[in-house]
Amino acid sequence: MTAAIQVNAVEKSFGNVQIIRDLNLSVAKGERHAIIGPNGAGKSTTFNLISGHIKPTSGEIRLNGEVTSGLRPFEINRRGLSRSFQVTNVFARMTVWENVRCAVLWATGHRYAFWKNVDTLPEVKQRTAEILDEIHLSHRRDVPAGLLTYAEQRELEIGITIAGGASVIMLDEPTAGMSHAETERAVALIRRLTEGRTLVIVEHDMSVVFGLADRISVLVYGHIIASGTPEEIRGNPKVKEAYLGEEVD
């Protein structure tokens, strides 16, 4: 079976600083894959590379077997990959409802249509309402996204990411800055929403990582030093030394 995401020998330099070195990563379809690593290891950069936000200096990235390195983000998105951002990245002046609806429009085939009334498209309406329900923001639907609380914005961020129905979902630290209770709620949400889809998640909270992930990759200085099941990662001496320390035991 072809992997959902296949990263082959990708390198990325900003100027003459090499941030990503010989990156190899394989995420199987339907798998929940966590990427962990210290601050500045290049996790978000890896997300940016896979989602087309930046182009690799060399190497190749495939989505469901098709080469996507070099494609623009919207082209990759149309092929079924959707990502969220570590720093909330929503449409601040538009309402919660409109934020989610915009993310539904392409996937429901309405594209750049200027001859349809957006308010009367039944499947758009229904899907938007469903997503709002899922992310518990129905009661805030008419509030501009810029005025939501931090935790609400993070949930909206997830909502926008999953709204298009992409088969591969990438979440960059979805629970960062959340309280313990909010984190639990968000994890339950992520678990439910990514049912039957491929998930790649960057997360610092180890209890979340080990509770959620089928497989874990450890990124240190732009290179994956280990990739495996939670048990394998837990027992890996290289990982212990390089990153996890006593935290895992």
Partner 1 sequence: MTNAPTPSIAVTKQEPGGALSFYGVWLIAAAALIVLPLIFSSGGSLTSFSLIGIAIIFALSYNILLGQTGLLSFGHAVQYGLGGFLAVHAMNAVASHNWPIPLPVIPLIGGIGGMAFALLVGWVMTKRAGTVFAMISLGIGELVASSSLILRSVFGGESGITTDRTSLMPLFGWTFGPQIQVYYLIAFWVMISAIAMYALTRTPLGRICNAVRDNPERVEFIGYDPHVVRYLAYMFAGFFAGIAGGLTAINFEIANSAYLGATQSGLVLFSAFIGGTAYFFGPILGAILVTYLQLGLTSVTSVWQLYFGIIFIGIVMFAPGGIAGILMKHRPLIRAGTLGTVIPSYLVAAIPTLALALGVILTIETVARFSGDAAINLLGIPFVATAPTTWAAAAVLVVGGFLVARITWRRVAEAWDRAATVARDRGYLA
Name which position in 117, 181, 246, 247 contacts partner 1 (CB under 8 A): 117
Which span (56-64, 137-145, 178-186, 240-248) binds partner 1, by CB under 8 A? 137-145
Backbone angles phi, psi at 105, to 5 degrees: -60, -45
Q: Which residues are paired to 227 by β-bridges? A: 217
By CB under 5 A, tell whether 89 contacts Mg ion. no
| Closer by beta carbon to Mg ion, 85 or else 97 | 85
Question: Which member of 24, 26, 44, 57 binds Mg ion (CB under 5 A)?
Answer: 44
**CA–CA dist 183, 181 (Å, integer):** 5
Looking up tokens 């087309």 gives 52
Q: Contact 162/171 with Cβ under 8 angstroms?
A: no
Min CB(204)–Mg ion separation in Å: 9
Q: Is 198 in the site for partner 1 (CB under 8 A)?
A: no
For residue 98, state whether it binds partner 1 (rule: CB under 8 A). Answer: yes
Question: Interface with ligand ATP by CB under 6 A: which residues?
Answer: 14, 19, 37, 39-45, 86
Closest CA to 47 of 205, 168, 165: 168
* Residue among 87 and 181 whose Cβ is closer to Mg ion: 87
Q: Does 133 bind partner 1 (CB under 8 A)?
A: no
Q: For 95-232, where are the E strands, in sequence order?
A: 168-172, 198-202, 215-220, 223-228
Give which of 168, 44, 154 is closest to 99, Cα–Cα: 154
Dist CA 33 CA 206 (whole Å): 13
- Within positions 78 to 97, which residues make up the interface with partner 1, using CB under 8 A? 78, 82-83, 85, 87-95
Nearer to Mg ion, 18 or 44 (CB): 44
Distance CA 204, CA 216 (A): 12
Which listed option, partner 1, ligand ATP, Mg ion, none, makes contact with residue 101 (CB within 5 to 8 Å by class)? Answer: partner 1
111 binds partner 1 (CB under 8 A): yes
Q: What residue type is assigned to position 155 of the chain? A: E
Nearer to partner 1, 79 or 185 (CB): 79
Beta strands across the sheet bearing 168-172:
81-83, 168-172, 198-202, 32-36, 215-220, 223-228
Which residues form the interface with partner 1 (CB under 8 A)? 51-53, 72-74, 77-78, 82-83, 85, 87-95, 98, 101-103, 105-107, 110-119, 121, 142-144, 146-147, 153, 160-161, 163-164
